[in-house]
Each structure stands twice: as C-alpha cells, then as structure tokens.
Structure 1
Amino acid sequence: MADPVHALRDVRYTPFWLDRPDRPEPESALVGDARCDLLVVGGGYSGLWTALIAKERDPALDVVLLEGREIGWAASGRNGGFCEASLTHGLGNGHQRWPGELAALERLGRANLDAMQDAVRRYDIDCDWRRSGSLTVATEPHQVDELREFAALAARYGTTLDVLDRDAVRAEIDSPTFLGGLWDREGVAMLDPARLAWGLKRACLALGVRIHEHSPATDLADGPAALTVRTPYGRVAARKVALATNAFPSLLRRHRPYTVPVYDYALMTEPLTAAQLASVGWRNRQGWADSANHFHYVRLSADNRILFGGYDVVHQYRSRVGDERDRRPETFATLARHFARTFPQLEGVRFSHAWGGAIDTCTRFSAFFDLSHRGRVAYSAGYTGLGVGATRFGAETVLDLLAGERTERTALEMVRRKPLPFPPEPVRSLGIGLTQWSLHRADADAGRRNLWLRTLDRLGLGFDS
C-alpha cells in the first residue's frame, strides 16, 4: 500500500469552511472617532453572540463590534463544527471541578444549546445545523470499561448515553479500530462553523449592530466619562466594553497569564462517492471522537467529505500566535496516516484541504470570567476548543456581569472564580511539554497516569486531553 501521505499531494492549505465563493464581503474599517453604549472587541462566536444578545435584551442599546481581521476567520471559522451542550469541557472535567453545581451547569448547558437552535431558526442561519449527536469511541481495550463508567456518571446528572458494543458502534460507523462507543443523541449538534459566524454577523447587522472589520483594537484607556479603545485609524469611546479575543493577547495585561494559545490541525477529504460512503456506513451522520488523551475528532460535511482533525496539540514558546503556524506538514502527515488506519476501505481518497489554528486554553480546561475598570469591562476566555456552544452562554454571562445583575449564571462558582494562572517562561513551556509527553505515555500504557499527571490532578490542574 502506498504511503497515505500521497493523499496530500494536491491539498490546499486553507480552512475548508472559509474557502467559499459566497464568503461575505468585510464591513468597512473604523476610521475616525465613534461613541457607543457597548463596545465588543472580537468578531468570533464570543463577540458575535455578545453583540446579538445585547441588542435582543435592549434594542435601543448602541452596540459597536470591532474585528481585527474578518468575522469568523480565526477559531470560529476553522473548528470541527461540534456544538456541544457541555459548558465545562465535558462532564468528567465538570465533575472533577464543580460536583456541587454540575447538575445546574448541565441543565444550563442543555438550555443554551436549545437557545442556539432557536436562534439559528429565528434568524434563518443556513449553517447545516443537525441535532445528530456524537459518538465517543473506544479504540483500546481499557477504554471500553471507561465508557461504561462515564455513561453511569452521565445518568446521575440526567443524561442518557447509549452504550454500544463493538458490533453496534461499527454498524453506525465502520472502522476496524472501534471496540465500543457511547452515543450522545441529544447533547450535540453538528454545523458548518463559518456559516454560523457569517449568519450571526448578518443577524447583528439586521438588529443595528455597527461592525467594523480590519480594525484591530490596540489599547484600552480608562476615562472619567468613557472607556476609549484605539484602532489604527480611529478610536471608540464606550460606556462599557466586552472583550472577546480568546486566543489572542487581551487588552488587559493582567488577564494574559490565565490563557495560552495552542494549535490544532485538521484535514478534509474530497467528497466521497456513494459507494465510498456506503463502505463506511454513517447513515446517522454523527460526529465522533476517540477516547485517547490525544484524540481525533471526525465528522461528515454537507457534501460528504470527512473532516479528520485533532491528535497533535502544539504550544509555541512564549505563546506566540501567527499565520505561519497554521501549516504544520508533520502533523498533516500524521493525520493522513491515522486516517488510513481508521478507514482502510477508503484507500485512494485524497485530501482537499489542510489547516490549523490557535485555540485558547486555561488550567481548568473551561471558560472563566472577570470584571475590571470598576465593573465597566467584562471578559471571558479559556474555552479550550469547546466554544462553539459555550461561547453563547459566556456572552449571556458577560452581559449579566456588565449589568451588575446577580443571576443564576453569575452566582456559579465557575463564574465567580478564575483558574490558576500559567507560570512565566520558560517554566510554562517546560510544564506544558512535560504534560504532553505524559499524556502520550498514558495513551500508550492503558491510560495509566504517571506521577506528574497525578500531581496535576491533586492540584486541580489535571489535563485529560
């Protein structure tokens, strides 16, 4: 058999979701001075939901949104399109950190996913929204028992997960690597991520949000009457500011130690023929991910391509973010070989697109929140690759905080407490490197966590992916 890397020979190094002829034209950059009630900095999901919900709550509110490049060009336009109900980066992470309020978090997460579905329909957002659920699959013997234990944990919090044996999971998606699975039928929607961002942009504009693209915010200054945010060609004076920059450096320096950017990568195949798709099955079109620490996430697109991403998670020294890191040939080669092992019946299928991008992570693997400037600036970050759904909940929370309201959301310990910050360099990169190495070792050793990982667990810093 030929080296699977040959399937990359004609690949385009650009995110598939953004490579569309109907990609909307950007709004004009901010030039000169502007004033508003609420300024939102960042044009990904976090910023778009914040602007949209702010106008829904108060149509008279004057809202401006600044985006440094184009709406949805970063993580919001290049993720896998898994929209999960979980607000805590999965039930296991939530159970470890907030067992006393996890039932409420799970309920709020399900309500948030339903609200997203309602918004997609209300604003007629054509993003291939499918409430098809997702599978978590076991590819090693020890993971089969772990999936059963996870199903029992989910049942304690009111979630029913279908436990599938080897034959049942392969009847859904046929891979010789699958030994068992869990099917979450209700808690995950699959969607086209870029089209969701573009649809939210259109909805914001229709409600009167003023959007300026190619307008990076360069600094934030406090004044007696207003906060001022500068861009290369102008400035905005605002009564309140919501920061939604996530993987990119915050305008508030004191927040920067709480997140680091990590790079994730994905491949997209050419469209499968009817015979190729039949050889895999996949009639129910669920997304799926395996159970390893360094896991893959996989799904079908509307035109029957397979997205195959994940596994490598790359942190750059000093947490650098740049376009040159979006392409990593060694990771693309690894993914191509893993794809061939997962779906040997698809030998000969080529990849059309390969890309990467930065996501923000924090030491507790789920979003955190904060206020500054006497309650006039609010911030959320740390979504760690699970922000397609959770960012809408984050937007609601940020707006509650800016309004000074005590709500069920703002009363949560998850909202009131921040994670531990990352240490400065070089300790930061050494620690992340040791953690990544240890997670690889655990995957190769039946899931056994070494002393370093067990120490992180005891400190509440336990990374599980």
Structure 2
Amino acid sequence: MAPSAMSRITRTVRTARTARTARATAAPRSGRPAGPRAEWTKSLAEAQPVAYWLDDPGRPHPEPALTGAEECDLLVVGGGYSGLWTALIAKERDPSREVVLVEGREVGWAASGRNGGFCAASLTHGLPNGLTRWPDEIHTLERLGARNLDAIEETVARYSLDCDFERTGEIDVATEPYQARELRDWYQELDAAGLAGGVDLLDADEVRAQVDSPTFRAGLWDRRGVAMLHPAKLAWGLKRACADLGVRVYEHTPALDLKPYGAGMAVRTPYGRIRARRVALGTNIFPSLVKRIRPYTVPVYDYALMTEPLTAGQLDAIGWKNRQGLGDSANQFHYFRLSADNRILWGGYDAVYPYGGRVRAEYDDRPETYARLAGHFFTCFPQLEGVRFSHAWGGAIDTCSRFSAFFGTAHQGKVAYAAGYTGLGVGATRFGADVMLDLLAGERTERTELEMVRTKPLPFPPEPFAWTGIALTKWSLARADDHEGRRNLWLRTMDRFGLGFDS
C-alpha cells in the first residue's frame, strides 16, 4: 500500500515444498462474484481516496526543510520505518553520536503510513520462504525475529508510543478444501521441524469460532508471532522518540545525490548539503542513491479498503473477539484486521506492476480494484451487507526476487542500505536497521554472519522482459487458484530458480 510495507503475505506448504515464494488471496472459487453488484459498489460511494491511517487531524506538523550546511556522524536517508529505526537505535547505541535524518516529504507518508499494520516476527517474509531459502539458519532466523518483535513491543512501552499495539497473533485461513489440506500438511511439517511452538491448527468450526465467515474451512493461528498496530502512529511516535534523543530531523528534504567527501560522504539537498562520516539508506522503493542496487527491486501496487466503525451487533455477527489479523491462502490473497475503533481493513488481491517500474501518485488510486475488493469483502462476510467503506487507497511496495530484505554496503563501507521487504517490513525494518548499523561499524555480529545478510537476490531484467515476466506470473497464479493450486510450467520453472511474484 505504499513503497515497502502494505502487503501482509500468507503462508502455505506449497512455498516450503517448492521454493515458491509468490503469494497473493482470492475470494473462494465457489462464491467469487462474476462482477460487482450494485449494492457492493454503493458501499464505496463515500470512500475517501486517502489512507485511513494518515487521515488524522492529530498528525504532527512536519519539521522544516534543511537549508544551508549540516555535518554529522551518521546521516539517515528516508523517514519511513527503515530510517526511523536506524536513527533511533543509532542514538541508543551511542547517545553522543550526531545523527541527522532527512525525508523527501513527510515522515511516514508512504509505506509506513499506508500499510495494513501487521507487525510480524518473521524476518524472511514468512516461515516457508525462510525454510526454503535458508534451512540451515531457520532456527536462528526465527529466534532473532521473535527477539526483534519483543524489542519493538518494549520500545513502544519505553517511549510511550501511542500506536494501538496489540499482540493478537494472526490466522492464515483456508477457503478451499485443498487449502485446508495444505494447512494441515504444513502444520505437520512445522511440528516435525520443531517450529510449531505457539501455532495452533484450527478446523472449520474452530476457525469460525474465532472469526465467523461461511468461506472459512481451516486455519493456522500464530498466537504470538504477529502484532496489530496503527502504522502511521508508529512512524509519528518513532519520529518523536528520535527527536527526544537528539536526532535532527528535516522533512521536505529529498537527498539528490551521494558522493565521497574526504573521509566521509556528502549528500546534496535542494537547499543545502550534508557531510557525514557514515550514511544509512532507507529509501526502499524509491530510487537508491547507490545506483547499482536499483535493479534489485521493482514496485508493485497494492490496495485496501477501510469500513466505517462496526456496531456492536455487526461485531457480534462475525465474532472476532480476539482481534487477530487474518489472511487467506490462495495466490491472490486478502489480508484483513480490526482497527482500534472496530473498523475492518480489507486489502490485497490485485498486485499491479506499472510498466517500467515507475512510482507515480496517480497509481495510488484504482477504482476497479476497490470495486473488486468490495465484492470479495461481502462474499467473505455476507452478514455485514450494508456496511459502508470510509477510505480506499493504495501504494507501491518494494519487491525483490527472494521476497525478503537484502543488505549491503557501498563506498568502502561508508554507506549501508537495506531494501526489498516486499510488504512485510513493519517489523523486519527494525532488524534491518540493526544490520545496517553493524555493517557501518564494521562489526561481525550474529546478524552480519547470516547467509541472508551476506547474499543478494537476483536482479530483475530490463523492460520489456520484467513486465512480460511479471504479467505471465500473475496470470499463472490466478489460473492456479482456479485449479486447486496446480502450478503450470511457467510457475514450476520459476520455483526451480527460486523466483516468483508477490503482492
């Protein structure tokens, strides 16, 4: 829903068995509407084309732009989660360090303020992806991910971040018989690998006792590995915490170029220049100042709806007393959750790659996708017929070919970067901040020794090959959803090379 963080990707056994990493959710085949019904499209009549989280009269005023010259020990470029966590942790590690953060627009305006608010422990874009790619490290990666989520929860408490943090967990739900079988198989594999701790397998009655939809056939409930939160308030709270620790924050200050300068680096901005000993780049989907890493990411646009607040009677009709996040298990998937004021966020399904990989504001609004999502919503929750949507929005996610973040350095170790979170960056960006700071310090740590940190994904090809490959993959994934998950030759070939496509 915005560069780097909107999509919450569900998990199934197919990923672990085949190196398949492309995911996305469909309304159940048995109930998928042929086209938007009039009453469903009417539900969108008053929807504002802006992210619900950002539509807040209490949002903080932006800091002034940088004018003139600045000098610092560490310059952080990017005011999303990646940059904010890096600046905060840098000051926590060394309070005397002079840290400057620059943001091209306003802190949290992009992915960090538009995503679904699923804060997952997974560092590998889900356990199946991690188990497939780094089987020898998976227990370490899971332990580090759990520790990272605990640290986020501790930070929220320590700095009194008002972001509606709830450690509710998440349920992956099956909406087709074959998906239910796969969830059971996957749970057995987790149990055999010693990775099923805190995960419950739910049959149809049990999952519907948690959240009642006639489409649900089974579920896997990860009780502790995911928290729900208000994404924009998290970004705004981190900004305040950074400022309180002495980070100098400049908004409406895009970094235009990056060059060596003496023993450090220099960054030019529209009205000034910054000299820094070290630079950390948290720009994600936006063009990196290290040009050679640009081919490693492409933008994929994701979209979501937010309902009006549900009444007590409407909540009773669907249950959902434990407030977990949910996602279903097809290739074209939805993710959904309750907000603090009892609205339902409903997102996913369409994943739109613009030809040439351009990031443009006009792609943030897509009425045809909103109509499709509304139809799927009422198919999932027919008992909510008549509910209206108050907001409808979208944004770009930075996708890489291995569907989890990659890291590295440039300019003889004076610049570090992290990118490619593929929609699961609300939690993982904090881990990425630690990695960047370790790399800039030249330290060998448990994090920097990971194969996941030491290796890169494959870059995407130039156009028209990127667009053609992504379009063919999307078509194949939709076809697989209509054929009980059976994957065609194209998808099997992508699996063989550890590639795919993800919303």
- Tell me whether the two structures share a fold, i.e. TM-score over 0.5: yes
Q: Does 1:460 align with 2:494?
A: no
Mapped partners of 1:292, 1:75: distance in 2: 24
Mapped partners of 2:332, 2:404: distance in 1: 17
Q: Do the aligned partners of 2:261 and 2:275 also contact (CA within 8 Å) in 1?
A: no
Deviations 1:441-461 (A, max 9, x none): 111110111111111111111
Task: Report the AA paired with residue 9 of structure 1.
Answer: A
Q: Do the aligned partners of 2:416 and 2:439 also contact (CA within 8 Å) in 1?
A: yes
**Residue 143 (structure 2) aligns with:** 107
Q: Do the aligned partners of 1:438 and 1:449 also contact (CA within 8 Å) in 2?
A: yes
Task: Report the AA paired with residue 259 of structure 2.
Answer: A
Mapped partners of 2:450, 2:215: distance in 1: 40
Q: Does 1:122 align with 2:158?
A: yes
Task: Report the AA paired with residue 407 of structure 1.
Answer: T
Q: Does 1:98 align with 2:134?
A: yes
Q: 66, 73, 84: which one pairs with 2:102?
A: 66
Give, in angstroms, the shift of residue 96 of structure 1: 1.1
Mapped partners of 2:317, 2:446: distance in 1: 48
Q: Does 1:223 align with 2:261?
A: yes
Q: Do the aligned partners of 1:16 and 1:353 also contact (CA within 8 Å) in 2?
A: yes
Give, in angstroms, the shift of residue 322 of structure 1: 1.2
Mapped partners of 2:404, 2:218: distance in 1: 27
**Residue 389 (structure 1) aligns with:** 427
**Residue 84 (structure 1) aligns with:** 120
DSSP-derived class of the 1:130 partner? coil
Q: Does 1:141 align with 2:177?
A: yes
Task: Report the AA paired with residue 72 of structure 2.
Answer: C
Mapped partners of 2:144, 2:53: distance in 1: 29
DSSP-derived class of the 1:315 partner? coil
**Residue 416 (structure 1) aligns with:** 454
**Residue 438 (structure 1) aligns with:** 476
Mapped partners of 1:95, 1:128: distance in 2: 31
DSSP-derived class of the 1:175 partner? coil
**Residue 335 (structure 2) aligns with:** 297
Give, in angstroms, the shift of residue 187 of structure 1: 0.4
Task: Report the AA paired with residue 153 of structure 1.
Answer: E
Q: 1:244 to 1:33 in 2, by over 3 A?
A: same
Give, in angstroms, the shift of residue 157 of structure 1: 4.0
Mapped partners of 2:492, 2:212: distance in 1: 35
Q: 179, 196, 200: which one pairs with 1:159?
A: 196
Mapped partners of 2:156, 2:222: distance in 1: 21
DSSP-derived class of the 1:360 partner? strand
Q: 300, 307, 318: which one pairs with 1:269?
A: 307
Deviations 1:55-87 (A, max 9, x none): 000000000000001000000000000001100
**Residue 296 (structure 2) aligns with:** 258
Q: Does 1:44 align with 2:83?
A: no
Q: Do the aligned partners of 2:474 and 2:501 also contact (CA within 8 Å) in 1?
A: no
Q: Does 1:363 align with 2:401?
A: yes
Deviations 1:307-351 (A, max 9, x none): 000000111111100111110011001000000101100111000
Mapped partners of 1:343, 1:445: distance in 2: 24
Q: Does 1:211 align with 2:249?
A: yes
Task: Report the AA paired with residue 350 of structure 1.
Answer: R
DSSP-derived class of the 2:172 partner? strand
Give, in angstroms, the shift of residue 145 of structure 1: 1.1
Mapped partners of 1:215, 1:312: distance in 2: 32
Q: Do the aligned partners of 1:453 and 1:463 also contact (CA within 8 Å) in 2?
A: no
Mapped partners of 1:278, 1:95: distance in 2: 38
Q: Do the aligned partners of 2:50 and 2:392 also contact (CA within 8 Å) in 1?
A: yes
DSSP-derived class of the 2:119 partner? strand
RMSD: 1.0
Q: Select the structure with the greater relative contact order (CA < 8 A; seq sep ≥ 6).
A: 2
Task: Report the AA paired with residue 53 of structure 1.
Answer: I
Q: 1:447 to 1:464 in 2, by over 3 A?
A: farther
DSSP-derived class of the 2:160 partner? coil
Give, in angstroms, the shift of residue 154 of structure 1: 2.8
Identity of aligned residues (%): 69
Q: Do the aligned partners of 1:173 and 1:280 also contact (CA within 8 Å) in 2?
A: yes
**Residue 237 (structure 1) aligns with:** 275
Q: Do the aligned partners of 1:72 and 1:197 also contact (CA within 8 Å) in 2?
A: yes
DSSP-derived class of the 1:12 partner? coil
DSSP-derived class of the 1:36 partner? strand
Give, in angstroms, the shift of residue 169 of structure 1: 0.6
Q: Which runs of 5+ in 1 are unaligned?
A: none
Mapped partners of 1:144, 1:213: distance in 2: 48
Q: Do the aligned partners of 1:64 and 1:211 also contact (CA within 8 Å) in 2?
A: yes
Q: Do the aligned partners of 2:76 and 2:100 also contact (CA within 8 Å) in 1?
A: yes
Q: 153, 163, 168: which one pairs with 1:132?
A: 168
What is the number of residues matched between the two proteins? 465
Mapped partners of 2:283, 2:196: distance in 1: 32
Deviations 1:3-46 (A, max 9, x none): 30110001100000000010000011000110000000000000
Give, in angstroms, the shift of residue 381 of structure 1: 0.3
DSSP-derived class of the 2:135 partner? coil
Deviations 1:141-191 (A, max 9, x none): 100111112222333243331111111111111111101111110100010
**Residue 487 (structure 2) aligns with:** 449
Mapped partners of 1:154, 1:128: distance in 2: 31
Q: Do the aligned partners of 2:202 and 2:219 also contact (CA within 8 Å) in 1?
A: yes
Deviations 1:235-289 (A, max 9, x none): 1000100000001111111010000011100000000010011001000000100
Q: 1:157 to 1:202 in 2, by over 3 A?
A: farther
**Residue 279 (structure 1) aligns with:** 317
TM-score normalised by the chain length of structure 2: 0.91
Q: Which runs of 5+ in 2 are unaligned?
A: 1-36
**Residue 5 (structure 1) aligns with:** 41
